[in-house]
Structure 1
């Protein structure tokens, strides 16, 4: 696709670069006034490189746990500067600086399953659970995702690494000693959501804090979350959507879960994940607490 002028992009190109829908780009443009496209004589809007960088920055801030409104405010107030090729390359990602993450990436790149699994065990016992999650697993998975998205890694390399991490985290949860009288937190992906690793990480964080956990699973059938919550009566429920698929496949899902939360005030309901943050920017729930901050869940 040709750009209309050097350094400018049509909205379809911006959508492809940022992996944001054209509708969402227009909404952020109108609601938050963070980007300022130019109209050509033919009526088409074109976006500058600065506009694209701003959108990428907002997306990055959302992935870090900010709402869209908070991200827009940070940019407008000059607290956060838009990413550029220069400063993006200088971001101090743990995957670039952490020796153990680099070793894991090397084993994953070579698809050495046994060595990757052995290294996961070594780093877990070296760091302890909390540091292992925050300093090893989270940056490792982020870099795995980056390499798959850019085409540096094949689908097989990404799947092998992610599956090994998932299985290892499940094993830790099963063997973790916890007081059976501890309060219960239930975690689940939303229907049609298959990215379960973030929920396992959250539940392990909960166990470190002394909570008993129950994982419903990935892509549960519609209504199963409500049924299990009614049976178990947990103190907290953590729901996750890394993609927009749950809301696209089930347009009334958010409304149904929010109404369910209203009817169960004895339980605190939390909804997180990049997909949830993007979708709820326009349809904020009243009874589900929207957050990507584990500390907010377990204050």
Structure 2
């Protein structure tokens, strides 16, 4: 079971720490434990409770009404709201709860409803991508464990693979050839899969090499296919003290390709890029390139 500070709850729910303290004092709606120095600490149950309260409040329920609900009544009301048209932050809250509870049925319902309403690409861009950022925050703070992270990541991965398989294989006039891969040791594949979807949906050719590709194998595929564009996502590997050398190596070894880089180790870092290397800071930038 995870422990959260009141600041953690504020960051994850969007509800101010001051408001959480008032709810505790006035409505007895939260019952945090206290450390020896009288600092409040919260558990998984408290986090889910606050996320549910936030969702209900945003849809017109008064805190005085919510405080009188049992856990079952509150969950029932949240499920009713989830069946209606929700805004993006509401959906991200709902996905967070589904992840914490390892609730596949709820995940399926949220994703299916939003895909029908907004389309798959908009659902990914406006809901799944911000949700993945939240997962990163939860992971860093120790708020979720490997089981929860693997559970939700694999469900998202499955959705992406189905969406990619459902695309027509036709190429447009002037289509480019893209080679997609992750560096050796890099296993975070969701962003690469979504890039695959985006590029294919704009009727370009994709050579998808997937996770953890040794550099010599990348060079081999480059020699076979002579891609117009090489795209990769660098989240954790290579490390910060190796990343600049790796970027220089990409630019030098593949001079005839446009090389697109993104990921935590790249975006916002002080990376010097060779002329044929470009950093993608937003998914919309990749969409524009693939459409050009």
1:101-180 aligned within 5 A:
101-180=92-171
- Match of residue 238 from structure 1: 231
Please tell me whether residue 223 in structure 1 is matched to residue 213 in structure 2. no
Structure 1 residue 123: deviation in Å? 2.3
Q: Distance in 2 between matches of 1:107 and 1:277?
A: 29
Aligned to 1:274: 264
Q: Give the direction of change, closer, same or farther, for the CA distance of 1:125–1:185 in structure 2 (3 Å limit).
A: farther
Equivalent-residue separation in structure 2 for 1:146 and 1:250 (angstroms): 23
CA contact (8 A) 1:183 1:212 kept: yes
> d(CA) in 1 for partners of 2:287 and 2:199?
10
Indicate which of 157, 177, 183 corresponds to 2:176: 183
Deviations 1:132-156 (A, max 9, x none): 1211211111112212222222221
Q: How does 1:36-75 map to 2 (within 5 A)?
A: none
Of residues 255, 279, 289, the one that matches 1:297 is 289
Per the TM alignment, residue 126 of structure 1 is displaced from its structure 2 partner at its CA by 2.6
1:62-87 Cα shifts (integer Å, max 9, x gaps) = xxxxxxxxxxxxxxxxxxxxxxxxxx
- How far apart, in 2, do the equivalents of 1:272 and 1:185 lie? 15
Distance 1:97 1:170, change over 3 A: closer
Using the alignment, how far apart are the partners of 1:220 and 1:232 within structure 2?
A: 16
SS in 1 for 2:265: helix
Q: Distance in 2 between matches of 1:116 and 1:97?
A: 15
Shift in CA distance, 246/203, structure 1 to aligned 2, threshold 3 Å: farther
In 1, the alpha carbon distance for the partners of 2:178 and 2:125 equals: 20
Aligned pair in 2 of structure 1 residues 247, 145: CA closer, same or farther (>3 Å)?
A: closer
Q: Secondary structure at the match of 1:152?
A: coil
Task: Provide the C-alpha distance between the structure 2 equivalents of 1:161 and 1:258, rounded to a whole number of angstroms.
Answer: 35
| Pair 1:167–1:249, CA change in 2 (3 A) | farther
Deviations 1:145-199 (A, max 9, x none): 2122222222211221112112211221122123146433221112222211111
Partner residue in 1 for 2:5: none
**Secondary structure at the counterpart of residue 254 of structure 2:** helix
Distance 1:128 1:252 in 2: 40
8 Å Cα contact 1:246/1:253 also seen in 2: no
1:202 paired with 2:195, answer yes
For residues 252-272 of structure 1, give each alpha carbon's deviation from its aligned partner in whole angstroms, at most 9, with x where no partner exists.
Answer: 53332111222x2xx322122
- CA 295–174 in structure 1, closer or farther in 2 if over 3 Å, else same: closer
Q: Displacement of 1:221 after TM fit? A: 1.6
Q: 1:221 to 1:136 in 2, by over 3 A?
A: same
Question: Cα 1:278–1:190, aligned 2, differ >3 Å: closer, same or farther?
Answer: farther
1 CA distance for matches of 2:222 and 2:93? 40
In structure 1, distance between residues paired with 2:221 and 2:105: 36
Q: 1:246 to 1:184 in 2, by over 3 A?
A: farther
- The answer to whether residue 289 in structure 2 is matched with residue 286 in structure 1 is no
Corresponding residue pairs, total: 201
